[in-house]
Amino acid sequence: MNRDGSVIYGNNEEGMRRVRAFKEGKLRIGGDGLLEHDEKWIPISGDVRNCWAGFSLLQALFIREHNAVCDMLKEHYPDLDDEKLYRYARLVTSAVIAKIHTIDWTVELWDEGQLRFKDLFGHICGPVLSGLVGLRKPNDHGVPYSLTEEFSSVYKMHSLLPDKVILRDITNSANPNYECPPVSQEVPMTEMTGKEGERRMSKIGMEQMLVSMGHQASGAVTLWNYPSWMRNLIPHDINGEEVPDPVDMAALEIYRGRERGVARYNEFRRNLLMIPISKWEDLTDDCEVIEALIEVYGEDVEKLDLLVGLQAEKKIKRFAISETAFFIFLLIASRRLEADRFFTTNFNPKTYTEKGLEWVNKTEPLKDVIDRHFPDMTAKWMRCSSAFSVWSAPPDKTNYIPLYLRPAT
Protein backbone atom coordinates (compact mmCIF):
# COMPACT_ATOMS: atom_id res chain seq x y z
CA MET A 1 0.00 0.00 0.00
CA ASN A 2 1.71 3.20 -1.21
CA ARG A 3 2.17 5.67 1.62
CA ASP A 4 0.85 8.59 -0.47
CA GLY A 5 -2.49 6.83 -0.84
CA SER A 6 -2.28 6.72 -4.65
CA VAL A 7 -3.43 3.09 -4.67
CA ILE A 8 -6.88 4.27 -3.62
CA TYR A 9 -6.88 7.84 -5.02
CA GLY A 10 -5.19 7.28 -8.39
CA ASN A 11 -2.02 8.54 -10.03
CA ASN A 12 -3.46 10.99 -12.57
CA GLU A 13 -6.51 13.19 -13.17
CA GLU A 14 -8.47 10.49 -14.99
CA GLY A 15 -7.78 7.93 -12.30
CA MET A 16 -8.70 10.31 -9.51
CA ARG A 17 -12.02 11.21 -11.10
CA ARG A 18 -12.80 7.54 -11.73
CA VAL A 19 -12.76 6.61 -8.04
CA ARG A 20 -14.74 9.59 -6.72
CA ALA A 21 -18.45 9.55 -5.91
CA PHE A 22 -18.61 13.38 -6.16
CA LYS A 23 -20.91 13.48 -3.17
CA GLU A 24 -19.85 14.65 0.30
CA GLY A 25 -16.19 14.12 -0.64
CA LYS A 26 -16.51 10.35 -0.73
CA LEU A 27 -14.97 7.62 -2.88
CA ARG A 28 -16.88 4.88 -4.67
CA ILE A 29 -17.40 1.66 -2.72
CA GLY A 30 -19.63 -1.36 -3.28
CA GLY A 31 -22.75 -2.08 -1.28
CA ASP A 32 -20.97 -5.09 0.28
CA GLY A 33 -18.14 -2.86 1.51
CA LEU A 34 -15.74 -4.17 -1.14
CA LEU A 35 -14.48 -2.42 -4.26
CA GLU A 36 -16.85 -1.65 -7.09
CA HIS A 37 -16.07 -3.29 -10.45
CA ASP A 38 -16.67 -2.42 -14.07
CA GLU A 39 -18.39 -4.72 -16.57
CA LYS A 40 -15.11 -6.65 -17.02
CA TRP A 41 -14.73 -7.24 -13.28
CA ILE A 42 -11.76 -4.89 -13.10
CA PRO A 43 -11.86 -3.16 -9.71
CA ILE A 44 -12.50 0.59 -9.51
CA SER A 45 -9.63 1.88 -7.42
CA GLY A 46 -6.50 3.98 -7.68
CA ASP A 47 -4.18 1.20 -8.84
CA VAL A 48 -5.53 -1.96 -10.49
CA ARG A 49 -2.28 -3.45 -11.77
CA ASN A 50 -1.41 -6.99 -10.67
CA CYS A 51 -4.11 -7.01 -8.02
CA TRP A 52 -4.97 -9.92 -5.77
CA ALA A 53 -7.75 -10.34 -3.21
CA GLY A 54 -5.66 -9.27 -0.20
CA PHE A 55 -4.54 -6.07 -1.90
CA SER A 56 -8.10 -5.25 -2.97
CA LEU A 57 -9.21 -5.87 0.61
CA LEU A 58 -6.84 -3.21 1.94
CA GLN A 59 -7.88 -0.79 -0.78
CA ALA A 60 -11.52 -1.25 0.23
CA LEU A 61 -10.67 -0.84 3.92
CA PHE A 62 -8.99 2.52 3.36
CA ILE A 63 -11.75 3.72 1.03
CA ARG A 64 -14.08 3.05 3.96
CA GLU A 65 -11.67 4.98 6.18
CA HIS A 66 -11.68 7.93 3.78
CA ASN A 67 -15.47 7.93 3.70
CA ALA A 68 -15.63 7.75 7.50
CA VAL A 69 -13.35 10.80 7.70
CA CYS A 70 -15.72 12.58 5.30
CA ASP A 71 -18.64 11.82 7.59
CA MET A 72 -16.73 13.13 10.60
CA LEU A 73 -15.68 16.32 8.81
CA LYS A 74 -19.21 16.89 7.50
CA GLU A 75 -20.55 16.63 11.03
CA HIS A 76 -18.11 19.16 12.47
CA TYR A 77 -17.76 21.46 9.43
CA PRO A 78 -21.16 21.40 7.67
CA ASP A 79 -20.22 24.27 5.35
CA LEU A 80 -17.50 22.26 3.57
CA ASP A 81 -18.43 21.34 -0.01
CA ASP A 82 -17.68 18.07 -1.82
CA GLU A 83 -14.25 19.18 -3.09
CA LYS A 84 -13.01 20.45 0.27
CA LEU A 85 -14.30 17.38 2.10
CA TYR A 86 -12.51 15.16 -0.42
CA ARG A 87 -9.22 17.05 -0.12
CA TYR A 88 -9.20 17.16 3.68
CA ALA A 89 -10.20 13.50 3.94
CA ARG A 90 -7.48 12.55 1.47
CA LEU A 91 -4.86 14.36 3.55
CA VAL A 92 -6.04 12.68 6.73
CA THR A 93 -6.28 9.18 5.23
CA SER A 94 -2.91 9.44 3.48
CA ALA A 95 -1.33 10.51 6.78
CA VAL A 96 -2.94 7.54 8.53
CA ILE A 97 -1.54 5.19 5.85
CA ALA A 98 1.95 6.71 6.18
CA LYS A 99 1.76 6.44 9.96
CA ILE A 100 0.67 2.79 9.88
CA HIS A 101 3.40 1.97 7.38
CA THR A 102 6.08 3.61 9.51
CA ILE A 103 5.21 2.65 13.08
CA ASP A 104 3.19 -0.52 12.61
CA TRP A 105 3.98 -2.49 9.43
CA THR A 106 7.70 -1.61 9.25
CA VAL A 107 8.15 -2.13 12.98
CA GLU A 108 6.74 -5.65 12.67
CA LEU A 109 9.78 -6.52 10.54
CA TRP A 110 12.04 -6.13 13.53
CA ASP A 111 11.81 -6.23 17.32
CA GLU A 112 10.86 -2.66 18.08
CA GLY A 113 8.68 -0.55 20.37
CA GLN A 114 8.99 3.11 19.56
CA LEU A 115 7.53 6.59 19.10
CA ARG A 116 6.06 6.73 22.63
CA PHE A 117 8.52 9.24 24.08
CA LYS A 118 6.76 12.04 22.21
CA ASP A 119 3.41 10.97 23.64
CA LEU A 120 4.79 11.37 27.16
CA PHE A 121 6.97 14.47 26.89
CA GLY A 122 6.00 16.25 23.66
CA HIS A 123 8.31 17.17 20.76
CA ILE A 124 11.62 17.94 22.49
CA CYS A 125 15.28 17.30 21.64
CA GLY A 126 14.55 16.87 17.93
CA PRO A 127 13.82 13.66 16.01
CA VAL A 128 16.21 11.45 17.99
CA LEU A 129 13.88 11.27 21.00
CA SER A 130 10.61 12.74 19.78
CA GLY A 131 10.17 11.24 16.33
CA LEU A 132 9.96 12.78 12.86
CA VAL A 133 6.35 13.89 12.52
CA GLY A 134 5.80 17.46 13.64
CA LEU A 135 9.24 18.92 12.94
CA ARG A 136 9.10 22.66 12.32
CA LYS A 137 10.32 22.42 8.73
CA PRO A 138 11.23 19.71 6.19
CA ASN A 139 14.78 18.39 6.14
CA ASP A 140 15.98 16.72 2.94
CA HIS A 141 19.65 16.69 4.06
CA GLY A 142 20.66 18.54 0.91
CA VAL A 143 19.27 15.91 -1.48
CA PRO A 144 15.70 16.04 -2.87
CA TYR A 145 13.69 13.11 -1.50
CA SER A 146 13.00 10.16 -3.78
CA LEU A 147 12.42 6.43 -3.51
CA THR A 148 15.82 5.20 -4.62
CA GLU A 149 16.65 2.12 -6.66
CA GLU A 150 18.35 0.79 -3.54
CA PHE A 151 15.10 1.04 -1.57
CA SER A 152 13.14 -0.57 -4.39
CA SER A 153 15.65 -3.42 -4.42
CA VAL A 154 15.54 -4.24 -0.70
CA TYR A 155 11.74 -3.93 -0.72
CA LYS A 156 11.34 -6.93 -3.04
CA MET A 157 9.90 -9.22 -0.36
CA HIS A 158 7.53 -11.43 -2.33
CA SER A 159 8.63 -14.35 -0.14
CA LEU A 160 6.18 -12.98 2.42
CA LEU A 161 3.29 -14.06 0.16
CA PRO A 162 1.85 -17.59 0.47
CA ASP A 163 1.12 -20.16 -2.24
CA LYS A 164 -2.40 -20.56 -0.91
CA VAL A 165 -4.88 -18.59 1.17
CA ILE A 166 -6.28 -20.45 4.16
CA LEU A 167 -9.89 -19.38 4.62
CA ARG A 168 -11.28 -19.62 8.14
CA ASP A 169 -14.77 -20.47 9.34
CA ILE A 170 -15.96 -17.48 11.39
CA THR A 171 -19.55 -18.62 11.94
CA ASN A 172 -18.87 -19.56 15.58
CA SER A 173 -21.03 -17.29 17.72
CA ALA A 174 -18.53 -16.87 20.57
CA ASN A 175 -14.75 -16.95 20.96
CA PRO A 176 -13.85 -15.79 24.50
CA ASN A 177 -10.30 -17.21 24.36
CA TYR A 178 -9.38 -15.74 20.95
CA GLU A 179 -8.80 -19.21 19.55
CA CYS A 180 -7.80 -19.51 15.90
CA PRO A 181 -10.95 -20.24 13.87
CA PRO A 182 -11.07 -23.61 12.09
CA VAL A 183 -9.98 -23.97 8.48
CA SER A 184 -12.84 -23.74 6.03
CA GLN A 185 -10.99 -24.02 2.73
CA GLU A 186 -7.52 -23.70 1.21
CA VAL A 187 -7.50 -21.68 -2.00
CA PRO A 188 -4.49 -21.55 -4.38
CA MET A 189 -3.21 -18.02 -4.91
CA THR A 190 -3.70 -18.43 -8.65
CA GLU A 191 -7.44 -18.33 -7.90
CA MET A 192 -7.10 -15.21 -5.75
CA THR A 193 -5.43 -12.99 -8.34
CA GLY A 194 -6.82 -10.82 -11.11
CA LYS A 195 -10.48 -10.93 -12.14
CA GLU A 196 -10.97 -14.46 -10.79
CA GLY A 197 -9.69 -13.30 -7.43
CA GLU A 198 -12.12 -10.36 -7.44
CA ARG A 199 -15.07 -12.66 -8.13
CA ARG A 200 -14.03 -15.08 -5.41
CA MET A 201 -13.47 -12.21 -2.99
CA SER A 202 -17.04 -11.01 -3.51
CA LYS A 203 -18.28 -14.45 -2.42
CA ILE A 204 -15.95 -14.70 0.58
CA GLY A 205 -16.82 -11.29 2.01
CA MET A 206 -14.74 -8.70 3.77
CA GLU A 207 -14.90 -9.98 7.34
CA GLN A 208 -14.04 -13.60 6.55
CA MET A 209 -11.13 -12.46 4.38
CA LEU A 210 -9.80 -10.14 7.08
CA VAL A 211 -9.98 -12.82 9.77
CA SER A 212 -8.45 -15.43 7.45
CA MET A 213 -5.52 -13.22 6.49
CA GLY A 214 -5.10 -12.20 10.12
CA HIS A 215 -4.64 -15.81 11.21
CA GLN A 216 -2.25 -16.79 8.41
CA ALA A 217 1.42 -16.11 9.11
CA SER A 218 3.46 -14.57 6.33
CA GLY A 219 6.34 -16.39 4.70
CA ALA A 220 9.97 -15.94 5.70
CA VAL A 221 12.21 -13.61 3.69
CA THR A 222 14.75 -16.28 2.92
CA LEU A 223 16.10 -18.37 0.05
CA TRP A 224 14.01 -21.14 -1.52
CA ASN A 225 10.79 -19.60 -0.28
CA TYR A 226 9.64 -17.67 -3.35
CA PRO A 227 5.92 -18.19 -4.15
CA SER A 228 5.68 -20.74 -6.94
CA TRP A 229 2.66 -19.00 -8.53
CA MET A 230 4.81 -15.90 -9.11
CA ARG A 231 7.21 -17.91 -11.25
CA ASN A 232 4.52 -18.01 -13.94
CA LEU A 233 2.61 -14.80 -13.25
CA ILE A 234 0.06 -13.27 -15.60
CA PRO A 235 0.75 -9.52 -15.20
CA HIS A 236 -1.68 -6.66 -15.80
CA ASP A 237 -1.30 -3.40 -17.64
CA ILE A 238 -2.11 0.00 -16.10
CA ASN A 239 -5.82 -0.51 -16.88
CA GLY A 240 -6.00 -3.88 -15.13
CA GLU A 241 -6.13 -5.91 -18.34
CA GLU A 242 -4.12 -9.13 -18.50
CA VAL A 243 -0.87 -9.07 -20.48
CA PRO A 244 -0.54 -12.18 -22.72
CA ASP A 245 3.02 -13.16 -21.81
CA PRO A 246 3.57 -14.60 -18.29
CA VAL A 247 6.66 -13.59 -16.32
CA ASP A 248 8.96 -15.29 -13.85
CA MET A 249 9.06 -12.63 -11.12
CA ALA A 250 11.95 -14.25 -9.26
CA ALA A 251 14.20 -14.13 -12.33
CA LEU A 252 12.86 -10.71 -13.33
CA GLU A 253 13.78 -9.17 -9.98
CA ILE A 254 17.39 -10.31 -10.32
CA TYR A 255 17.47 -9.04 -13.91
CA ARG A 256 16.01 -5.65 -12.97
CA GLY A 257 18.64 -5.11 -10.31
CA ARG A 258 21.44 -5.77 -12.80
CA GLU A 259 19.79 -3.74 -15.57
CA ARG A 260 19.32 -0.69 -13.36
CA GLY A 261 22.87 -0.73 -12.10
CA VAL A 262 22.09 -1.49 -8.48
CA ALA A 263 25.31 -2.51 -6.75
CA ARG A 264 25.98 -6.16 -6.07
CA TYR A 265 25.73 -7.28 -2.44
CA ASN A 266 29.30 -6.54 -1.32
CA GLU A 267 29.52 -3.16 -3.03
CA PHE A 268 26.09 -2.31 -1.67
CA ARG A 269 27.36 -2.88 1.87
CA ARG A 270 30.47 -0.81 1.21
CA ASN A 271 28.28 2.06 0.03
CA LEU A 272 26.46 1.87 3.37
CA LEU A 273 29.80 1.85 5.22
CA MET A 274 29.11 -1.74 6.28
CA ILE A 275 31.73 -4.49 6.34
CA PRO A 276 31.67 -6.59 3.13
CA ILE A 277 32.01 -10.36 3.18
CA SER A 278 35.29 -11.99 2.17
CA LYS A 279 34.00 -15.59 2.04
CA TRP A 280 30.62 -17.26 1.90
CA GLU A 281 30.87 -18.29 5.55
CA ASP A 282 30.74 -14.58 6.46
CA LEU A 283 27.26 -14.44 4.95
CA THR A 284 25.69 -17.60 6.36
CA ASP A 285 26.50 -20.72 8.31
CA ASP A 286 23.96 -22.78 6.35
CA CYS A 287 26.03 -25.39 4.48
CA GLU A 288 23.30 -26.01 1.90
CA VAL A 289 23.14 -22.30 1.07
CA ILE A 290 26.93 -22.04 0.82
CA GLU A 291 27.01 -25.02 -1.55
CA ALA A 292 24.37 -23.42 -3.78
CA LEU A 293 26.18 -20.05 -3.79
CA ILE A 294 29.43 -21.72 -4.86
CA GLU A 295 27.57 -23.54 -7.64
CA VAL A 296 26.18 -20.24 -8.99
CA TYR A 297 28.94 -17.72 -8.22
CA GLY A 298 32.04 -19.87 -7.65
CA GLU A 299 34.36 -18.41 -5.02
CA ASP A 300 33.91 -14.81 -6.24
CA VAL A 301 31.80 -13.19 -3.50
CA GLU A 302 31.84 -9.90 -5.43
CA LYS A 303 29.44 -11.40 -8.01
CA LEU A 304 26.73 -12.05 -5.43
CA ASP A 305 23.46 -10.39 -6.48
CA LEU A 306 21.96 -8.07 -3.89
CA LEU A 307 18.59 -9.82 -3.59
CA VAL A 308 20.20 -13.23 -3.14
CA GLY A 309 22.56 -11.84 -0.52
CA LEU A 310 19.77 -10.15 1.41
CA GLN A 311 17.84 -13.41 1.66
CA ALA A 312 20.89 -15.55 2.46
CA GLU A 313 22.25 -13.19 5.13
CA LYS A 314 22.04 -14.29 8.77
CA LYS A 315 19.25 -12.41 10.51
CA ILE A 316 19.51 -10.46 13.74
CA LYS A 317 17.50 -12.20 16.45
CA ARG A 318 13.74 -11.61 15.99
CA PHE A 319 14.31 -9.65 12.76
CA ALA A 320 12.35 -10.68 9.65
CA ILE A 321 14.75 -8.83 7.34
CA SER A 322 18.51 -8.69 7.01
CA GLU A 323 20.70 -6.10 8.70
CA THR A 324 21.65 -4.72 5.27
CA ALA A 325 18.00 -4.19 4.33
CA PHE A 326 17.31 -2.73 7.78
CA PHE A 327 19.80 0.10 7.15
CA ILE A 328 17.94 1.14 3.98
CA PHE A 329 14.52 0.81 5.62
CA LEU A 330 15.58 2.99 8.52
CA LEU A 331 17.07 5.64 6.26
CA ILE A 332 14.21 5.94 3.75
CA ALA A 333 11.37 5.56 6.26
CA SER A 334 12.73 8.45 8.30
CA ARG A 335 13.55 10.63 5.30
CA ARG A 336 10.05 10.04 3.90
CA LEU A 337 8.63 11.85 6.94
CA GLU A 338 11.40 14.42 7.39
CA ALA A 339 11.20 15.66 3.80
CA ASP A 340 7.41 15.93 3.52
CA ARG A 341 5.87 19.29 4.39
CA PHE A 342 2.59 17.59 5.26
CA PHE A 343 4.35 15.88 8.17
CA THR A 344 6.46 18.89 9.17
CA THR A 345 5.64 22.53 8.31
CA ASN A 346 2.02 21.81 7.41
CA PHE A 347 1.29 19.17 10.02
CA ASN A 348 -1.17 21.46 11.75
CA PRO A 349 -4.92 22.16 12.18
CA LYS A 350 -4.90 24.76 9.40
CA THR A 351 -3.87 22.13 6.85
CA TYR A 352 -5.76 19.10 8.19
CA THR A 353 -8.54 20.86 10.16
CA GLU A 354 -8.55 20.51 13.93
CA LYS A 355 -10.67 17.38 13.90
CA GLY A 356 -8.73 15.89 10.98
CA LEU A 357 -5.42 16.30 12.81
CA GLU A 358 -6.99 14.77 15.90
CA TRP A 359 -8.05 11.76 13.78
CA VAL A 360 -4.47 11.27 12.57
CA ASN A 361 -2.96 11.63 16.04
CA LYS A 362 -5.40 9.20 17.62
CA THR A 363 -4.95 6.50 14.94
CA GLU A 364 -1.85 4.40 15.58
CA PRO A 365 -1.75 0.81 14.28
CA LEU A 366 -3.81 -0.76 11.52
CA LYS A 367 -5.75 -2.42 14.33
CA ASP A 368 -7.31 0.99 15.12
CA VAL A 369 -8.62 1.30 11.56
CA ILE A 370 -10.00 -2.24 11.43
CA ASP A 371 -11.56 -1.82 14.87
CA ARG A 372 -13.24 1.41 13.77
CA HIS A 373 -15.06 -0.36 10.94
CA PHE A 374 -15.44 -3.87 12.41
CA PRO A 375 -15.53 -3.51 16.22
CA ASP A 376 -17.43 -6.76 16.83
CA MET A 377 -15.04 -8.71 14.61
CA THR A 378 -11.87 -7.41 16.31
CA ALA A 379 -13.36 -7.94 19.77
CA LYS A 380 -14.02 -11.56 18.85
CA TRP A 381 -11.00 -12.55 16.75
CA MET A 382 -8.08 -10.14 17.31
CA ARG A 383 -6.05 -10.69 20.47
CA CYS A 384 -2.70 -9.31 19.31
CA SER A 385 -1.42 -5.72 19.53
CA SER A 386 -0.76 -5.30 15.81
CA ALA A 387 -2.96 -6.43 12.93
CA PHE A 388 0.26 -7.42 11.15
CA SER A 389 0.86 -10.10 13.80
CA VAL A 390 -1.00 -13.39 13.84
CA TRP A 391 -4.28 -12.35 15.41
CA SER A 392 -4.43 -15.14 17.99
CA ALA A 393 -0.99 -14.15 19.37
CA PRO A 394 -0.87 -12.57 22.86
CA PRO A 395 -0.63 -8.75 22.95
CA ASP A 396 2.75 -7.08 23.33
CA LYS A 397 3.70 -5.43 26.58
CA THR A 398 4.16 -1.70 26.12
CA ASN A 399 7.81 -0.63 26.28
CA TYR A 400 8.32 3.14 26.43
CA ILE A 401 12.12 2.88 26.18
CA PRO A 402 13.37 3.36 22.59
CA LEU A 403 15.27 0.42 21.11
CA TYR A 404 18.60 2.29 21.11
CA LEU A 405 18.36 3.00 24.87
CA ARG A 406 17.58 -0.56 25.91
CA PRO A 407 20.21 -2.95 27.30
CA ALA A 408 21.39 -5.71 24.97
CA THR A 409 19.70 -9.08 25.42
CA atoms of 278 and 143, how far apart (whole Å)? 32
| Cβ-based neighbours of 144, under 8 Å, separated by 6 or more | 339
In sign, the C-alpha dihedral spanning 375, 7, 359, 155 is positive
User: Based on the number of CB atoms within 10 Å of its own CB, is 363 exposed (0-12), middle (13-18) or buried (19 or more)?
Assistant: buried
* 101 assigned to a ligand binding site: no
Distance CA 239, CA 40 (A): 11
The C-alpha angle with vertex 322 and arms to 317 and 326, in degrees rounded to 5, equals 100
In whole angstroms, what is the distance from residue 189 CA to residue 162 CA? 7
Phi and psi dihedrals of 279, rounded to 5? -150, 160
Catalytic residues: 155
Annotated binding site for heme b, which residues? 158
Annotated binding site, which residues? 158
